Amino acid sequence: MAEDIKVIVFKLATEEYGIEVDKVQTIERLMPITRVPKTYTFIKGVINLRGVVIPVIDLRGRFGLEEAEHTDQTRIIIVVVNEMEVGFIVDSANDVIDLNRESIDTPPEVVGGIKAKYLDGVAKIGEDRLLIMLNLSEVLNKSEIVQLESFEG
Amino acid sequence: MDMNQYLSMFIDESNDHLQSLNENMMGLEANPDDLSIVQVIFRSAHTLKGMAATMGFEDLASLTHQMENVLDLVRNGKLVMQDFIFDTLFKSLDALEAMVQDITAGGEGKADVSSIVASLQAIVRGEVPIAQGEGAAPAAAAPKEAETPALLDEFQLSVLEQSIQEGHQVLFIEVSIRKDCQLRAVRAYMVFELLERFGEVVKSFPSVQDIEQEKFDYNFSLYYISQKTAEEMQTLIMGVSEIDNVTSVALDVETLSQLVKPEVAATAEEAPPAPARENIPPATQTPAAAPQKEEAKKAPAKSSGAPSRTIRVDIDRLDVLMNLLSELLIDRVRLEQHASDIQSGELTETVEHMSRVSADLQNIVMKLRMVPVDTVFNRFPRMVRDLAKSLDKKVDLIISGAETELDRTVVDEIGDPLVHLLRNALDHGVESVTDRIAAGKPETGSIHLRAFHSGNHVFIEIQDDGAGISRDKVLKSAINKGIVTAEQAAAMSDNEAHQLLFAAGFSTAEVISDISGRGVGLDVVKAKISSLGGNVTIYSTPGKGTTFSVQLPLTLSIIAAMLVRIGSEKYAIPLSSIVETGIVKRSQIRSVHGAKMVEFRGSHIPIVSLSAIFNVPDYDESGEEETEIVVIRKSDKLVALTVQDFIGQNEIVIKNLGKYLPSIQGISGGTILGDGQVALIIDANAFIK
């Protein structure tokens, strides 16, 4: 019998995603973000999280989805992966569920246009809910991204 | 018992003891007759041994034990310190240091020290001539000297054993002086004089010093090596007037070995009573101020394990404290705003009070990160000693301002550059003895190492009284290296020529250092100091000497910065890189070969638009008639940056942008402003190539 894991559920566009709860530090409401120039477009900038400066990534941008206006529901999920603290901007995040590892299937080839390597698997909850489990280290992996514009002084 | 929880304490204290040992050995080398220093050294070594044994580091404990044996001979006046003894002891210290380092790195502190142990044992065995005993062991003085046979330790035992094997008599003599004797110390002295005429006192109880100061009742006992028999000695001593009774017993090897056994058990208890009896203060920081005997007697006894009343705090915890504090400060600003909106007298008063308290709190927290530079400085005397020895030069290292405080992070980083500069001063600055005499200087050179505050900076200077820098030689090798052209060289001021020593490539080839007389890796020094936000300058007078002056910021985590606004965004520019601020008219900006230049103090410097570089979305100065500029400097190059507004000058706390954004060109970090928002700090170096 496989163990149960707790998963934070959040929404991007029409899909629901999950991150294991022990990777998540906090979930914050939207706060002022300081733009950081000369970096990837999906990095929205940095925030002051109780005295610590943390970069925030627009997950829509990271996955190549169309970026959306921020609303009351918009949240920043602070995750810690490989000692990196990063905030993810998501459309909403308001659920924590227990998930049996057995219910997670290996990712299909294409899900909603997001490259499969960002995905750990897909879990089916209840009758018609699909939860996409994220592979955080791939999401934060920068080596695939070519350094953008070079610096012109 | 789980020892791991004590490990970090053990490492810290071991390092303290090693440092103190090093310093005091240096002090002793300068002042070999001062036995009080030996006492301090002995005590440090003893404590170290005890700690190492408790923690189960046997190699460490046994090496310290051998050192103790040598030191004990010295403090008892049985051994006169000589160069090779110093060298062996210093070698032992190095070995100990290596072992402690190994333990720090998670090892077991094991090391092959057999050769050092062998030479230490050789010294103990008396392969050094044993001087006539004029002092004796004060440490383990038993309260009831007359009844308890005096305890011997291993090496004293071995001395006695050897004497027996060589056919000498080893006697245990107890002497009682008549109760009506007026000058006990004089009588005792007469007895000792008599004894020394016929042999050698190995150990006496109480110690000779105590006896000389009449710190004994009417009895004393001693171990004695002589050719005379017990009876002969008894008669001889009785011949001294006012002696009540003398018992003299000849000892053989067996009785001796029995005598030594209690000593092994007693070792652990030996140290604690000693400081109280001797009143020797803990090691002072500079070897020059080694405790004098007289001071030592007066000074209040402190526990030798705790040199000052401090606690050790993990620097990460301080960072957490800093973060919490900056949150508090941000809330304070908000409270102040609300208070001024609400206009309630009491609230305003409370908020004002809170502001003052939090400002004080901020000050204290900042100070917590400050440590005196002596944690770096105090390893230099030893280094200079060794280096001077290997170079066959005579040098005095004079340290001042070691109490000057710097941020911990700076102190941790500054050590290596200073080592380089000191080596440089010693190697190339100070001349050889013969050259010095030829130049009419005292044969011992001097290197001043001093630290002092000046404004928002700390200066560390290394000044030697050597030959100075030869401008011609420097320029010649710089031209050969292709760093400057002959024309450039001719036009250079002395100062500019001296700065060439820091040029990359100048110091890479060893040949250069021979020709120029300067420089191994000075460019590395310069780079390191620059990375700390500091600067280094050279002053040199030919024939008189050279001074390297290192300027450092007080702290790395807090800097003074100019806050500027570009559109809706705020940026901080470190004041240390700003030359000046000003306003230029559009007509003053010219195009030179396609690059925009502006005239600044008679020369043309490039003008760079920050909003263009950072793609600021909501500001464009191209339409403006006048533009604010900030002129920044990297070494001797200037660039003007255009901004929209100056907000003002502020002390800012530097934060990094997190691991995910390790380096962004033109941005060196972020800081949190009073309103809780993050402002980026501009890395001026990135704008100048």
The CATH number given to whatever domain includes residue B183 is 3.30.70.1110
> By the CB < 8 Å criterion, does B565 face chain A?
no
> By the CB < 8 Å criterion, does B312 face chain A?
no
Low-confidence ranges of chain A (pLDDT < 50): 146-153
Confidence tier at B680 by pLDDT (50, 70, 90): very high
Q: What is the 3-state secondary structure (H, E, C) of B225-238?
A: EECCCHHHHHHHHH
The whole-number pLDDT of residue B679 equals: 92
* Number of folded domains that form chain A: 1
- Among B226, B212, B236, smallest CA distance to B293 is for B212
User: The dihedral of CA B611, B617, B618, B622: what is its sign?
Assistant: positive
Lowest mean pLDDT of B154-158, B438-442, B550-554, name the range: B154-158
Q: Which residue of A has its CA nearest to B571?
A: A34
- In DSSP notation, B19-52 reads HHHHHHHHHHHHSTT-HHHHHHHHHHHHHHHHHH
B486-506 confidence digits (pLDDT tens):
887 788 877 778 777 777 666
**Could you tell me where the beta strands, DSSP code E, fall in A2-142?**
4-12, 15-20, 24-29, 43-49, 52-58, 75-81, 84-90, 92-100, 104-105, 119-125, 129-134
The whole-number pLDDT of residue B283 equals: 40
Segment B144-166 shows an average pLDDT of 63
B68 is catalytic: yes
Question: B401 and B533 in one domain?
Answer: yes
Q: Which of B17, B22, B424, B428 is catalytic?
A: B424
* Number of folded domains that form chain B: 5
Mean pLDDT of chain B: 76
CA distances from B256 to B99, B148, B204, B234, B373 (A): 35, 14, 15, 20, 51
The whole-number pLDDT of residue A150 equals: 35
Does B308 reside within a domain? no
The structure tokens listed for B424 are 């440089």
Lowest mean pLDDT of B258-272, B414-428, B520-534, name the range: B258-272
Specify the higher pLDDT residue, B284 or B450: B450
Q: Which H or E element spans position B158?
A: helix B154-165
What CATH number does the domain containing B102 carry? Answer: 1.20.120.160
Question: B83 and B53 in one domain?
Answer: yes
Segment B650-672 shows an average pLDDT of 81
What CATH number does the domain containing A113 carry? Answer: 2.40.50.180
Question: B99 and B53 in one domain?
Answer: yes
Q: Flag if A34 and B677 touch (Cβ within 8 Å).
A: yes
Q: CB neighbours (10 Å) of residue B665?
A: 17
List b or e across A75-112, with b for residues whose CB sees 16 or more CB atoms inside 10 angstroms: bbbbbebeebbbbbbbbebeeebebeeeebeebeeeee
Question: B67 and B123 in one domain?
Answer: yes
List b or e across B72-90, with b for residues whose CB sees 16 or more CB atoms inside 10 angstroms: bbbbbbbbebeeebbebbb
Question: B118 and B53 in one domain?
Answer: yes
Question: B367 and B396 in one domain?
Answer: no
The whole-number pLDDT of residue B491 equals: 80
Does B160 reside within a domain? yes
In sequence order, which ranges of A1-153 are alpha helices (DSSP H)? 59-62, 136-139
For residue A115, count CB atoms less than 10 angstroms from its CB and return exposed for 0-12, middle for 13-18, buried for 19 or more: middle
Q: Which of B323, B610, B661, B689 to mutate to test the interface with A (most CBs of A within 10 A)?
A: B661
Helix then strand then coil, in percent of chain B rounded to 5, is 50, 25, 30
- Among B417, B418, B376, B380, smallest CA distance to B398 is for B380
- From B522, B553, B584, the end of a domain falls on B553
The whole-number pLDDT of residue B78 equals: 77
Question: B273 and B329 in one domain?
Answer: no
The whole-number pLDDT of residue B269 equals: 40
B382-434 confidence digits (pLDDT tens):
888 888 888 888 888 899 988 888 888 788 888 888 888 888 888 888 888 88
Note whether B652 and B681 are within 8 A (CB): yes
Q: Nearest-CA distance from B678 to chain A in Å?
A: 6
B231-246 confidence digits (pLDDT tens):
888 888 887 777 888 8
- Among A83, A32, A73, A38, smallest CA distance to A56 is for A32
* Angle, vertex CA B107, rays to CA B102 and CA B110, nearest 5: 75
Segment B626-641 shows an average pLDDT of 85
Q: Residue B564: pLDDT above 80?
A: yes
The structure tokens listed for B244 are 């009540």
B30-51 confidence digits (pLDDT tens):
887 788 888 888 888 888 888 8
Domain membership of residue B45 as a residue range: 4-140
Going by their DSSP bridges, the two strands B626-634 and B637-643 should be labelled as: antiparallel
Question: B381 and B368 in one domain?
Answer: no
The whole-number pLDDT of residue B151 equals: 60
- The residues near B411 (Cβ < 8 Å, ≥ 6 apart) are B371, B373, B375, B376
Q: Residue B563: pLDDT above 50?
A: yes
The whole-number pLDDT of residue A69 equals: 84
Q: Residue B287: pLDDT above 80?
A: no
Q: Which residues of A touch B (CB under 8 A)?
A: 32, 34-39, 43, 45-48, 50-55, 82-86, 140, 142, 151-153
Longest alpha-carbon distance in chain B: 115
B59-100 confidence digits (pLDDT tens):
888 888 888 888 888 888 777 777 778 888 888 888 888 888
Q: What are the φ and ψ backbone dihedral angles of A82, each rounded to 5 degrees?
A: 50, 45
The whole-number pLDDT of residue A87 equals: 93
User: How high is the ipTM of this complex?
Assistant: 0.84
pTM for the whole structure: 0.50
For residue B245, count CB atoms less than 10 angstroms from its CB and return exposed for 0-12, middle for 13-18, buried for 19 or more: middle
Secondary structure of residue B601 in the 3-state scheme: coil
The structure tokens listed for A14 are 């029409």
Q: Which of B23, B68, B145, B431 is catalytic?
A: B68
Distance CA A47, CA A58 (A): 13
* Angle, vertex CA B551, rays to CA B542 and CA B523, nearest 5: 65
Residues of B with Cβ-Cβ distance to A43 under 8 angstroms? 661
Residue written as token pair 């800097």: B559
Note whether B640 and B605 are within 8 A (CB): yes
Domain membership of residue A19 as a residue range: 4-150
Q: Please, which residues bridge with residue B450 across strands? A: B400, B461
> Residues of chain B with pLDDT > 90: what percent?
4
Question: B326 and B258 in one domain?
Answer: no
Cα–chain center distance at B520: 23
B535-554 confidence digits (pLDDT tens):
888 888 888 888 999 988 77
Question: B430 and B360 in one domain?
Answer: no
Does B453 reside within a domain? yes
- From B140, B171, B200, the end of a domain falls on B140
Q: Please, which residues bridge with residue A125 across strands? A: A129
